[in-house]
Structure 1
Amino acid sequence: MTRPATFALPGDITTLTGGYLYDHQLVQALRDQGRSMQVLQLPDSFPTPDAADMAQAVDQLSALPADQPVIIDGLAFGALQTEALASVRAPIVAMIHHPLAQESALPAELADHLLRTERANLTLARHVLVPSPHTRDMLIERYDVAADRITIARPGTKARQHPQVPKADPAMILSVGILHPRKGHDVLVQALGMLGDLEWQAQIVGNPWDDAHVGQLCDRIARSAMGDRITLAGRVSDGRLQNLYGQASVFALATRYEGYGIVFDEALSHGLPIVSTTAGAVPGTVPADAGLLVPPDDAGALSDALRRMLTDAPFHKARVKAAQQAGAALPSWDDTARIVARVLDSVMDAPA
């Protein structure tokens, strides 16, 4: 009989971003393995809650029983008041997708506050879960977390029948990622603007982060000489997304930082060669023979990589084969859940 546990996170667990997708799939896989998992929805204003939302989150966590562990998603964990977190009776496991202070475009004062808060809060966690070696190394080097307190639980891939759809003509470049400055969609649009002599089309899929940034992307596309070939699709249904993966010939994401990047595994599972950046965990997630990685914020290098994928047929074919092989070897969410289940049980068996 497995012990019950709680997963606490801000907002709706079905939100369409990589971190929430991870949390949702993990909870479902743990339930499928027979573990009772309660989802505790904290206020969605984290990581910058007002006083009322902070108090509500503290009250919710403080009400959890002392004999059941709680996994707290990093979006809330790193921003909670340290003194209040110390009063939580439930054994705490932190889920750090990537540290809050490392988010791009943060005001310096906020980044400093989050760095200090997250560092202090990590001392209160019985154990820490991360999605990648990159995030583990960052917590060791920048946050002084002992290596033996961290477990890597790499994201799984969802078993599904990929739609048998023909490849788009002209070749489709697919980008998937929340419409947020960190994902570098602006750099991708700039890079695509340098490929006017080639035949291609592009789809950018992602949940809007805020209206202002979406407006900036729309304006950038409208001003691009290649704007009529670029579709900012925004949020789409899962069925539509699977069709786009099937129709695409290249996956591209000009990300400025990734703690892991679940979309890369999704692309590999569809046998798509990848053009991305060397930011964060990307080099450890994308096999070297399955794609091309360039420095972040280098639209020229990104454009050159896309050009080679579109024009060098033998090179593209070899990357497709490597992506297919890598995709076939990816872990399942059941594998991820087994790793997390061992952590939950060890936390309860170990002395406080």
Structure 2
Amino acid sequence: MTRPPLAFAIPGDIATLTGGYIYERRLLEGLRRAGHDMRHLELSANFPDPSTADMAQAVAALAELPADRPVILDGLVFGSIDTAGLARIRAPAVAMIHHPLAQETGLTPARRDHLFRTERDNLGLVRHVLVPSPHTRRILIERYAVPSGTISVVRPGTDRPRLPPRPQHPPLILSVGILHPRKGHDILIAALSRLADLDWRAVIAGNPWDRDHARALARQCRASPVADRITLAGRVSDEVLQDLYARAHVFALATHYEGHGIVFDEALVRGLPIVSCATGAVPDTVPGGAGLLVPPGDPDALAGALRRVIADPDCRHRMAMAAGAAGARLPSWQGMADRASLVLTGLFGG
């Protein structure tokens, strides 16, 4: 079957350091290697809050696509683009939904309702939906009435570690995620402040996506009784990040919600025990033996889980072995793209 030409509409800089952008960049590159003629449409970085001009430009660019070039729409665009504008597009549309936009943290009720209605209505106009996790698939079926047969789970891929593990003492607790309220770094800092009697160091690495929140985290760190043990590293180079993963003993992310969470896979392939929250797709992504999951927003529970992993080397070793075994079974990024290629070729191939 002929691999169809495709377009991929993504807002802003595809090199942006978030899990969603990493996923889509690797998918675009992998589909190209799989033999698809790929056209990358860079839309306004303001999505999902576009101006009137941004919206008009996006609809015009999508409407220019020929009917024989199906277009994958990034979730930030798909969930907020004007439904009447989407209906004008001749090209068959495929939605790439990491998690529904109405699931984001900190929305007003009116904003949440608007995003829910827009995404629900737009889902009625697409040929297929790609999602990164069974959790997101369940949400679309149960809350958005999307037929199950029109949704394909394409789990993110992983790269094999470039550096061998070299954990150092005291134990390093590593957290990786953009500095945004949804990631719960404030909960992690509060939990770490309850562990002053143990010996550890912590690094929180992530792009300062929300500048006000990043400043609030810095103030919280300075006020913590363990301030000298917590490094709020912000955005780091890939070389530095790989070194942090190699030196870490534990991966921790106090997230309030994840549609998948690529960083969990990155921890698993390195055999790192995981401490996180039982929310969203995290229970689907983190195998039971490899992680301790607590309720989101509970620093006491998070501190208790971290204490168990840090203070009990045998527990940490068992979790590390389970994490490494799970990580060895994860797909490569090209394997992920090949899976998407099979789905798209089955839908649109000649």
TM-score by length of 2: 0.98
Q: Partner of 1:222 in structure 2?
A: 222
Q: Partner of 1:136 in structure 2?
A: 137
What do the CA deviations read for 1:228-261 (whole angstroms, capped 9, x no partner)? 1100111111111010000000000000000000
Deviation at 1:200, TM superposition (A): 0.4
Alignment of 1:257-336 (within 5 A): 257-336=257-336
Alignment of 1:172-211 (within 5 A): 172-211=172-211
What do the CA deviations read for 1:279-331 (whole angstroms, capped 9, x no partner)? 10000000000010000001001001000100111111000111110111101
Q: Kindly indicate whether the alpha-carbon contact (under 8 Å) linking 2:258 and 2:281 is maintained by their aligned counterparts in 1.
A: yes
Q: Percent identity?
A: 57
Alignment of 1:122-133 (within 5 A): 122-133=123-134
Secondary structure of the 2:179 match is coil
Q: Kindly indicate whether the alpha-carbon contact (under 8 Å) linking 2:3 and 2:349 is maintained by their aligned counterparts in 1.
A: no
The 1:339/1:294 distance shift into structure 2, 3 A limit, reads: same
Q: Partner of 1:171 in structure 2?
A: 171
Deviation at 1:333, TM superposition (A): 1.4
Deviation at 1:349, TM superposition (A): 5.0
Q: Partner of 1:25 in structure 2?
A: 26
Q: Kindly indicate whether the alpha-carbon contact (under 8 Å) linking 2:66 and 2:91 is maintained by their aligned counterparts in 1.
A: yes
Q: Partner of 1:119 in structure 2?
A: 120
The 1:333/1:165 distance shift into structure 2, 3 A limit, reads: closer
Q: Kindly indicate whether the alpha-carbon contact (under 8 Å) linking 1:279 and 1:296 is maintained by their aligned counterparts in 2.
A: yes
Deviation at 1:160, TM superposition (A): 4.5
Q: Kindly indicate whether the alpha-carbon contact (under 8 Å) linking 1:68 and 1:91 is maintained by their aligned counterparts in 2.
A: yes
What do the CA deviations read for 1:59-80 (whole angstroms, capped 9, x no partner)? 1111111101110011110100
Secondary structure of the 1:41 match is strand
User: Which blocks of at least 5 consecutive residues in structure 1 are unaligned?
Assistant: none
Letter in 2 for 1:21: I
TM-score by length of 1: 0.97
Partners of 1:235 and 1:11 in 2: CA distance: 18
Deviation at 1:165, TM superposition (A): 5.3
Partners of 2:182 and 2:141 in 1: CA distance: 23
Partners of 2:4 and 2:148 in 1: CA distance: 26
Deviation at 1:210, TM superposition (A): 2.2
User: Which blocks of at least 5 consecutive residues in structure 2 are unaligned?
Assistant: none
Partners of 2:189 and 2:144 in 1: CA distance: 35
Most deviating of 320-329 and 152-161: 152-161
Q: Partner of 1:343 in structure 2?
A: 343
Q: 4+ residue runs of structure 1 moved beyond 6 angstroms?
A: none
Partners of 1:109 and 1:28 in 2: CA distance: 37
Q: Kindly indicate whether the alpha-carbon contact (under 8 Å) linking 2:34 and 2:341 is maintained by their aligned counterparts in 1.
A: no
Q: Partner of 2:8 in structure 1?
A: 7
Q: Kindly indicate whether the alpha-carbon contact (under 8 Å) linking 1:69 and 1:347 is maintained by their aligned counterparts in 2.
A: no
How many corresponding residue pairs?
Answer: 349
Letter in 2 for 1:210: D
Q: Kindly indicate whether the alpha-carbon contact (under 8 Å) linking 1:91 and 1:347 is maintained by their aligned counterparts in 2.
A: no
